[in-house]
Structure formats: structure tokens, C-alpha cells
A and B are shown apart, each in its own frame.
Chain A
Amino acid sequence: MAEATLRTPPLDRARVLQWLQTYGVYAGVALLLVVNIVITPHFMSAENFRTQAVQVAPVIIVALGMALVIGTEGVDLSVGAVMALAASVTALYLGYGLLPALLVVALFAAGVGLANGALVAFIGVQPIVATLALMVGGRGLALVLLPQLEDLRNPALASLGSGGVAGIPYLILIAAALALLVAFVVRRTTFGRQLLAIGDSRPAAQLAGLPVRRVLIIVYVACALLAAVAGVLATARLQASDPTSLGNLMELSAITAVVVGGTPLTGGRVNIAGTVAGAVLIQLLTATLIKHDLPPSWTQIAQAIVIVCAVYAARGRGKR
């Protein structure tokens, strides 16, 4: 049936839904920008846009990894825990200098990603269960390593968090570079295409001789590494390592950004531009409500409405 509607969309409604699925998130961002320019004082300033971009950068970075995982018909709930782990490991090894600390962080994140990937690819645990285990265990480990918030004074780390090039903060540059990199990997590399094929039809990919397990493991490792980057950047910005609260509910923000951006949870498709726009949409929405001092519960309700709209639009397309 889905096939029939795809060939010849008979209803205008179906066409509208399909348009919304593809462009809705950009329209949403544009709408929020226009509304804010009209009603929010001091909105049209470089400073404001910098603030929004800096705040959304870690979410975008995590959402990039999440988009890859969702593209394989999986989900990674452990990203928030990996951020916390990155924060505590950074604090723990900063005595050696920033670069060595970052290497150890990468090792830890790769370890979590490997564990996720191995559970999913070799043991066949459902992604939601496998990563749930690492979500709980990862944050536990982070708190064992660093039981409470610790202030960090490393100048290199501080400049990573608040410095920039030509007035553009490092955070924004790094997020933009990573988004371009991930988009390139998805579109142009063997790995990217194998990932999509596996997400769309795993049995077919297997019979076509694709290295299914290897691709899955790499995807989960990449997702964990991206989450670790976000964790280090957020820590650098805060100039403190706070494993108790850093990355709390980040998995949900990331999934929201991915889904709102038009990547279906059923796998086989990854929309990186949409994911970035999805994260920006949620950030602008939150900022609007905060700037107008509306009750925090409104933010949650507004987010819920956006998600419902995104899911409704996705319904119009279907998977096959």
C-alpha cells in the first residue's frame, strides 16, 4: 500500500506530509527565527547567535553519532553516560596535559563503543537493551572515577571552551567540521553505503556479503567517540568536570534532533543536514521560551509537540 502511494501520491495531504518530512524542520527553524526577530528584544545580535550556536554545538555532535546508529536501525542510549565519562576521565588525566588526557578519553569512549557494538553485533542483544546497560554502567564508572564536581584550570582546556578563531568559537568550528565529515562519510564512502544497506535490510546486506558486524561495531565506536568529543567540549566550556549532571538526558535530546530532522527510526536513511537543523530547532525553541521567561514545563510541552509533528510527518512516508 505504501508502495502505491509512493508512486502516485493521490492525496494532497500525502504530498504535504512528504514535504513536511523533508523540509518541515527547516521551515520550523525559519519560522522561529522570524518570530524571534519580531518579538524578542536583542535577538538580532552576533552575540546572541554565538550563544545559541555554542549551546547547541555539543547536542549537534552527539546527534551526529546518534544519526549513524539510528541509520542502522539501532539506538544508543549511552551517549550521555559517555559524556560524563569523558568529563571525569579528562579531570583525572589533565595532570599530564590536555592532549594525553584527550587520548585517554578517546580510549575510554572507544571501549564503551566497542562494548555496545559487540553486544549488538556478536551477541545479538537489541540495541536499546545493550546501550541501556552501558548507559547505567558508564555513568556509574564516571562517578567511581570522579565522585564529585571538580574545577579545572588548565589554560589549554579553558581556551578550547571559550576561545575561537576570528570571533568564531572553537565549539562551533568543531561541530561544523564534524557535521561535514559525517555527511561526507555517509554520502561518499563504502562504509556509509554499507551502513545504510544494513539499516534498511539486514538479511539482504548479510546475503550480499557485507561486513555487517564490522560496520555495526564501527558505528557504535564512532557514536561513542562523538559523544566523548561533546563531553570534553562541554567540560571545557564549564571549566569544571561534573560527571553527576553532565549529559543528563542527552540521549533524548540527540534522538529528538535526529527524528525531528527526518531520519526514520526504522533505519536505512541518514539525514545529517536535517539532524543539525533538528538540534537547532530545539535549541531555538528552548531559547525562545527561556528568553520570554515562560515556565520550564512549557519547554517540555513545546518539545513534545514538535516531536509529535515530526512523527506524524514521518507517517506519510513510511519505510517502504
Chain B
Amino acid sequence: MQRTTSRRPLLARPVVVALAAAVALTATACAKTEDDTADNKQSETAAGAEQKVATPKAGGETCTIDAYGAEKIDLKNATVGFSQSEKEANPFRIAETQSIKDEAKKRGVKLLTANAQSQFSKQISDVQNLLAKGADLLVIAPLNSDGWDPVLQAAAAKKVPIITIDRKINAEPCKDYVSFIASDFVEQGRRAADQMIEATGGKGEVAILLGSAGNNVTTERTKGFKERIAEKAPDLKVVFEQTGDFSREKGQQVTEQLIQSKPGIKGIYAENDEMGLGAVTALKGAGKKAGDVKIVTVDGTRNAVQGVVDGWISGVIESNPRFGPLAFQTLDTFTKGEEVPQDIIIQDGAYNADNAKQDIGKAY
């Protein structure tokens, strides 16, 4: 086809780029949010909020530096590399990264960080970069469980010990990596069930707002909840299970449908705080009062704990993101040549009407 018009790409392109840049700059320059006058509520580690170990060394498999085949170093003089999996756009990841940074600062350890922005290929190259930049020890929050062989080989070649946090990688402990520190998601589900049984009196119909499909957190939190209900309160029936994709908006929409079609619902178990807060918004919109429908959520963010204080949420099971102290403690013990457990399970806290008010400072 004949081109029937003249084009001006040379003019248009820089104009578009310049426009975009100018907009982005001016946007933040004179912004004013609702909270600008209030003090910034984000994230210094609150006292008493650090992780505690749930499974002490008794009986569990352990690992020492000799068995692992690395050399002893003094943690104070070492460089630690931290690879975060997702961008720090949700409270959990923000608190997790912050905790690692705070602990490194506190101990005076040199820390290198990288963020894979939810792309696994980027995380692999991130870790390789950290190694190249001279990291002596690695802390990794893996995005996937599989596909770590190239990194593990590179680390092994340099004899760099690895600790993984919040998600396990499929490899041999004490050979490919030292230890794995995380919460027990199944246990979180069980404890959420306990709260639900207590709040509802163990009778009636309850609903589950599932997390994203195909996510191990979703499956494990569901498994624990259902197990405990079946075991302890057979009169409590799960009549509704729909995904809210871990987002507040979806949680709200699904809950709206739920209370339309099942007006007699007694409780809602939300597999993260955001969906639970979405459910609260939906209940408010439908003219319900606080406590009409019992809500139990998992994570322990500040907003959800505030919900407990306000009476809309019956209980919040904590999933503690503050890995810093425990991770560095483990590294310290390990590099001194003492033995550390291969699996370190965190003891998570919980919030309910009794403790929410005084413990809200621990929430992230």
C-alpha cells in the first residue's frame, strides 16, 4: 500500500518522553495525602515483635560448618547478601526487608540487597551478582522452590553458606543450603480454626476466602483450617470457598456475593488480612454491625489488628515477617562453628479482643 501521509516521528518521540518525565516529577513534588499531618506509621521494629523459634533444637536435624564444608568467619567482618523475591509493595515484604536491614545495621554487618520484582530469572541473576560482589553469606527469600541448581553450584564453588527464609527450596539441607527459617502455614490454618471455633461457639456455617490459586500458602492455610474444624468442631460447616486472590477488592466482591446468597453465614476465614479487610468493607456496605459475622484472618498487619480493636475482626493469626534477628542469629551461631537446626520454625503470635489493643504496636 502506498503511504499517503507524511510522519513526524522525530518530533513526536521526545515530546512524549519529556511529557511523561515531567508528569512523574511534578506528581510527587506537590502531593498531599490525608496522612501528611499525622506521623508516619511505617515500620520501625516494635519491641517484642521479633520472631521466636517454635521448634527448639531437640531431636531435629542439625548442621555445622564442618559438615557443610565452609570455613569459619567472623560475622562482624563478613558481607551478607540478601535476595528478596517480590517487590516491597505489601506490608509483609516491606517488614521482611526492613527487618533484615535493621538487624544488619544493629550488628554492624555489611549488607548487599537485591529485589527480583517477582521474576524468577531476575532472582537467579541477582544472587549470582551478590556472589560476584563478594557476599560471604547469603540470605534468600526464594520466589520458587525449584530451579536453584545454577545458583547453588556457584555458591558451593565459593563455599558460601545459604539460609532461605519464608519459602523452602527443593535441595539437600546442610549440603546445598544450611537452614530454612519460616512460619508453619498449616499450623497458622489450625490456629485460625481455633479462633473461629471460639468466636462462633463451634456451630453454624462458615466461609473461606482462599488466596491465589496454585500458591502453597493458600493450600497449607486451607489444609490446617479444615483439619482442625473437622477434628474439633464437626458442627461447624464450611459451605463456601472462593478465591479472593489475596486482594482487598476481590475479598470485598466475593463477600458481597456471599452475604447475598447465604445470609445466615456465621463466620469468614480470610487467608490473608487484605481479603479480611475487604470482607469488613463488604459487611459495612451491607449494613451489618461489627461482630454480626465473625472474621478470622492471617498475617497480622496493623490494619487488621486495628480491625480487631474496632470489633470487626475476631482474631488475627500472625505470620511474622521479621526474619532479621533470627536469620543473623543463625548465621552467627553457624559461622562460629556451632550447630544450627536445618528447619527453624517460627512461633507466630496471635491477636484477639484480649490483646489487640496493647499489642497493636507489634503489628506491621
Contacts and interface: CB of A to CB of B under 8 A. Distances in A.
Interface of A: 40-43, 45, 47-48, 51, 54-55, 89, 91-96, 104, 107-108, 111, 114-115, 118-119, 122-124, 137, 141, 143-145, 147-154, 162, 203, 206-207, 234, 237-240, 242, 244-246, 248, 287, 290-293, 296-297
18 contacts: A51-B256, A93-B31, A93-B33, A111-B23, A119-B16, A123-B7, A123-B9, A123-B13, A148-B88, A148-B91, A234-B249, A242-B248, A244-B89, A245-B246, A290-B254, A291-B257, A293-B241, A296-B242
Contacts of A43: 261
A60 to B, nearest CB: 15
B22 to A, nearest CB: 9
A42 B32 contact: no
Contact of A150 (B20, B33, B245, B277): B33
A206 B4 contact: yes
Contacts of B285: 162, 237
Nearest to B280: A239
A41 B206 CA distance: 17
B112 interface: no
Contact of B12 (A48, A94, A118, A297): A118
A238 B33 contact: no
Most chain B beta carbons < 10 A, residue from A54, A95, A149, A237: A149
A244 B245 CA distance: 12
A290 B261 CA distance: 9
Contacts of A244: 89-90, 247
Contacts of A111: 19-20, 23
B252 A237 contact: yes
A123 B9 CA distance: 5
A122 B12 contact: yes
Nearest to B256: A51
Nearest to A95: B32
A255 B278 CA distance: 26
Nearest to B90: A148
Interface residues of B, number: 58
B248 A118 contact: no
Contacts of B213: 296-297
Contacts of B260: 42, 45, 47-48, 51, 291
Nearest to B9: A123
A154 B89 CA distance: 23
B20 A245 contact: no
A92 B260 CA distance: 34
B12 A55 contact: no
Contacts of A291: 257, 260-261
B33 A242 contact: no
B253 interface: yes
A149 B274 contact: yes
Nearest to A49: B260
A108 B7 CA distance: 26
B123 to A, nearest CB: 19
A124 B7 contact: yes
Contact of B256 (A55, A122, A150): A55
A124 B4 CA distance: 13
Contact of B8 (A54, A122, A238, A242): A122
A240 B36 CA distance: 16
Contact of A89 (B27, B246, B250): B27
A248 B253 CA distance: 14
Given A147-B88, A242-B248, A290-B257, A152 B34 contact: yes
Contacts of A108: 23, 27
B4 A203 contact: yes
A89 B243 CA distance: 28
A315 B23 CA distance: 43
Contacts of B243: 296
Interface in B251-274: 252-254, 256-258, 260-261, 263, 274
Interface string B128-159: 00000000000000000000000000000000
Given A55-B256, A92-B27, A145-B27, A123 B12 contact: yes
A148 B97 CA distance: 14
Given A93-B31, A238-B278, A51 B4 contact: no
Nearest to B242: A290
B24 A114 contact: no
Contacts of A153: 34
B24 A240 contact: no
A55 B253 contact: yes
A45 B286 CA distance: 13
Contacts of B24: 141, 144
Interface string B198-219: 0000000000001001000000
B94 interface: yes
A244 B246 CA distance: 11
A119 B9 CA distance: 9
Contacts of B16: 115, 118-119
Given A149-B90, A149-B274, A296-B210, 12 more contacts: A42-B260, A95-B31, A95-B36, A115-B19, A115-B20, A119-B16, A123-B9, A143-B89, A145-B31, A234-B249, A237-B281, A296-B243
